[in-house]
Amino acid sequence: MNPINHVAIIMDGNGRWGLKHKKSRNAGHKAGLNTVEKIIKETIKQKIKFLTLYAFSTENWKRPKREINYLFNLLENFLINKIEELNKQNIKLKIIGIKKFTKKLNKLLIHSEKKTFKNKRLQINLALNYGSKYELVNAFRCLSKNKEKINENSISKYLLTNDTPDPDLLIRTGNTKRLSNFLLWQLAYSEIFFERKLWPDFNDKDYNKIIKKFKNTKRNFGKI
């Protein structure tokens, strides 16, 4: 059985869910938050140490302002209401992405990271204004500036995930088969599961099914 250290998730399908059920994309984002809580709980139960959640990509700025504002408002309220509980549960929150938001959100993110920094049970990497190509370009720039040798270790060291092992599995909900600029380097050998359900409909049972399948997959890493 394969051990699992790190699960990465592209939480896709909120907008479609919202339109279908409540005639508003934003309602889907709100409903998606409940799934986030369920999946965090189950990740702890499964004793998985790292969970990376794709919440907002560098490309998502192309969406209407109203939707973007709604999303960041949701996140602000989530952090204000839940950070104490996450901390109590010994969860560490780390933001991966370019931290260029409103002053209020920047402050809240830094506060949440600092507060939970020493926690050990589960690390949640929240990918926010994250783009894998940007992350790689930034790593190469740092290497060149510091005149460091270029190899796999040195590149990994300058990625935003430098304290996290590569994902064992990637899940993308929402019935779309693409990576959308997520963890291109880190996913080199991950098992990939594309899930038909939209993110707000995804639940712990679905999650466990995927985990079970993953555990029984023969991982070769080039060997036979």
Residues forming contacts to Mg ion in the complex (CB under 5 A) are 12
Among 31, 71, 109, 211, binds ligand IPE (CB under 6 A): 71
Under 8 Å CB-to-CB from 195, ≥6 apart: which residues?
A: 171, 172, 173, 174, 175, 202, 206, 210
Encoded tokens for 171: 């899940």
How many Cβ atoms are within 10 Å of 213's Cβ, its own excluded?
12
> If binding is defined by CB under 6 A, does position 128 make contact with ligand IPE?
no
Instruction: List alpha helices for the chain, DSSP H.
Output: 14-22, 25-45, 65-88, 103-116, 132-145, 152-157, 204-215
d(CA 61, CA 50): 27
Does residue 60 carry a catalytic annotation?
yes
Q: Which of 161, 113, 167 is nearest to 3 (CA)?
A: 167
Residue type, 172: R
User: In the complex with ligand IPE, which residue's Cβ is closer, 177 or 205?
Assistant: 177
Write out the DSSP string of 150-201: -SHHHHHHTSTTTTSPPPSEEEE-SS----TTS-TTTTTT-EEEE--S-GGG
Does residue 34 carry a catalytic annotation?
no
User: In the complex with Mg ion, which residue's Cβ is closer, 12 or 168?
Assistant: 12
> If binding is defined by CB under 6 A, does position 125 make contact with ligand IPE?
no
54 binds, among Mg ion, ligand IPE, none (CB under 5 to 8 A by kind): ligand IPE
Write the interaction track for ligand IPE spanning residues 3-22; mark x where CB under 6 A is met and - where it is not.
Answer: -------xxxxxxx------
User: In the complex with ligand IPE, which residue's Cβ is closer, 100 or 149?
Assistant: 100
User: In the complex with Mg ion, which residue's Cβ is closer, 94 or 172?
Assistant: 172
Name the minimum Å distance from CB 126 to ligand IPE: 10
Catalytic-labelled residue, pool 2, 5, 12, 206: 12
> If binding is defined by CB under 6 A, does position 56 make contact with ligand IPE?
yes
Among 104, 141, 178, 215, binds ligand IPE (CB under 6 A): 178
Q: Which is it for strands 91-96 and 50-57: parallel, antiparallel or unpaired?
A: unpaired
Residues that bind ligand IPE (CB under 6 A): 10-16, 54-57, 60, 71, 174, 176, 178, 180
Catalytic residue numbers, as ranges: 12, 60
